[in-house]
Chains A and B, each alone.
Chain A
Amino acid sequence: MYSRAYSRLVTIPPLLWVTLFLLIPYLFLFCFSFWQVHAQVIVHSWTLSNYGQLFHNPIYLQVLLRSIRIAASVTLLALCLGVPLAYYVSFRSGTAKNLLYQLVIIPLWVSYLVRAYAWKTILGSNGVLNTLLQYTHLAQHAIGFLLYSPFAVVLTLTHIYTPFAFLPIYASLEHIPRNLIEASQDLGASRSRTFWKVIFPLALPGIVAGATFAFVLSLGDFLAPLLLGGPSGIMISNIVVSLFGAAYDWPLGAAVAVVMLIFVMALIASTERLERKLSFT
Chain B
Amino acid sequence: MFRSRWLSIHAAVVFAFLYLPIGVLAVYSFNGESVGGFPPRGWTLNWYRLLAGDSALWASVVNSLIVAIAAVAISIAIGLPAALALDRVRFPGKAFFRRIVLLPLILPGVITGISLLTLFVTVGMKLSLVTIALGHGTALISVAATEILAGLQKFDRAQEEASLDLGAGQWRTFWRVTLPNLRLSIIAAVLLIFTLSMDEIAVSFFLIGRDNTLPLEIWSRLRRGITPEINAISTVIFCFSLITIVLWYRIRQARTSETTPAASVQ
Contact = CB atoms under 8 A, between A and B. Distances in A.
Interface of A: 1-3, 5-7, 9-11, 13-15, 17-18, 21-26, 28-29, 32, 81-82, 84-85, 87-89, 92-93, 98, 100, 102-107, 109-115, 117-122, 124, 126-128, 131-132, 135, 159, 162-163, 190-192, 195, 212-213, 216-217, 219-223, 227, 237, 240-241, 244, 250, 253-254, 257, 260-261, 264, 268
A110 B18 CA distance: 11
B134 interface: yes
B122 A92 contact: no
A222 B112 CA distance: 13
Interface of B: 1-2, 4, 7-8, 10-11, 14-15, 17-19, 21-22, 24-25, 28, 35-39, 77-79, 81-82, 84-85, 88-89, 91, 97, 100-101, 103-104, 106-111, 114-119, 122, 134, 138, 141, 160-161, 164, 170, 174, 192, 195-196, 198-199, 201-202, 205-206, 215, 218-219, 222, 226, 230-231, 234, 237-238, 241-242, 244-246, 248-249, 253
Contacts of B215: 111-113
The 8 closest A-B pairs by CB, nearest first: A220-B108, A118-B21, A25-B115, A14-B82, A131-B37, A10-B81, A131-B38, A132-B38
Contact of A240 (B114, B196, B199): B114
B108 A237 contact: yes
A32 B18 contact: no
B231 A260 contact: no
Residue among A98, A113, A126 with the highest chain B CB neighbour number at 10 A: A113
Contacts of B7: 84, 87-88, 92
A128 B2 CA distance: 35
Contact of B81 (A5, A13, A264): A13
Nearest to A91: B7
A151 to B, nearest CB: 15
Nearest to B75: A17
A113 B199 contact: yes
Given A113-B234, A120-B222, A127-B36, 11 more contacts: A10-B81, A10-B82, A28-B119, A105-B249, A111-B234, A117-B234, A126-B35, A192-B1, A213-B106, A219-B108, A264-B106
A102 B242 CA distance: 10
A14 B253 CA distance: 29
Contact of B238 (A18, A110, A162, A253): A110
Contacts of B38: 128, 131-132, 135
Nearest to B117: A244
A268 to B, nearest CB: 7
Contacts, number: 247
B108 A221 contact: yes
Given A103-B15, A113-B199, A121 B2 contact: no
Contacts of B22: 107, 110, 114-115, 118
A105 B252 CA distance: 13
Given A21-B116, A162-B14, A128 B24 contact: yes
11 contacts: A14-B79, A25-B118, A87-B7, A93-B11, A110-B199, A111-B215, A121-B28, A121-B36, A131-B38, A159-B17, A237-B110
A29 B110 CA distance: 12
A26 B122 CA distance: 13
Contacts of A102: 245-246, 249
Contact of A14 (B24, B101, B114, B205): B101
A118 B89 contact: no
Contacts of A220: 107-111
Contacts of A221: 108
A7 B89 contact: yes
Given A104-B18, A118-B25, A163-B18, A2 B78 contact: no
B21 A122 contact: yes
A203 B114 CA distance: 36
B1 to A, nearest CB: 7
A85 B11 contact: yes
A260 B111 contact: yes
Given A126-B35, A220-B107, A10 B245 contact: no
A1 B110 contact: no
B10 to A, nearest CB: 5
B108 A115 contact: no
A82 B11 CA distance: 9
A29 B241 contact: no
Contact of B85 (A14, A24, A163): A14
A116 to B, nearest CB: 9
B129 to A, nearest CB: 16
Nearest to A115: B21
B74 to A, nearest CB: 8
Contacts of A253: 114
B83 to A, nearest CB: 9
A74 B71 CA distance: 31
Contact of A105 (B196, B245, B253): B245
